[in-house]
Amino acid sequence: MTSKNTSTRLLLALWDLGGTQQEVKKGQLTKRIVSKSQKVADYQGIFEELQKQGAIAISKKGYSLTSGKGLEVLGEGLRSSDFKFEGTIVGTWAANALARWISQIDVAVAGADVLVNGVKGAIASYDEFKSVALEVYDKLNYEYNFNNLVPIYRIRRGIGDRVSRTEFNDWLLEMQADDILQLQGGTVEDNASDKIEDSITTELNGLRCYSKRLKP
| Antiparallel, parallel or unpaired: β 181-184 and 206-208 | unpaired
CA 130 to chain centre: 16
CA 2 to chain centre: 26
Is residue 147 over pLDDT 70? yes
Dist CA 2 CA 6 (whole Å): 6
Tens of pLDDT along 189-204?
778 888 899 999 887 7
Tens of pLDDT along 63-101?
988 767 888 888 888 887 777 766 544 567 887 887 777
pTM of the predicted structure, to 2 decimals: 0.49
**CB-based contact 14:24 (threshold 8 Å):** yes
Dist CA 101 CA 16 (whole Å): 9
DSSP per position, 71-126: HHHHHHHHH-TT----SS---HHHHHHHHHHHHHTHHHHHTTT-EETTEET---SH
Other beta carbons less than 10 A from residue 180's beta carbon: 17
Work out the pLDDT band at 170, boundaries 50, 70, 90.
very high
CA-wise closest residue to 72 among 109, 118, 127, 18: 109
Work out the pLDDT band at 113, boundaries 50, 70, 90.
very low
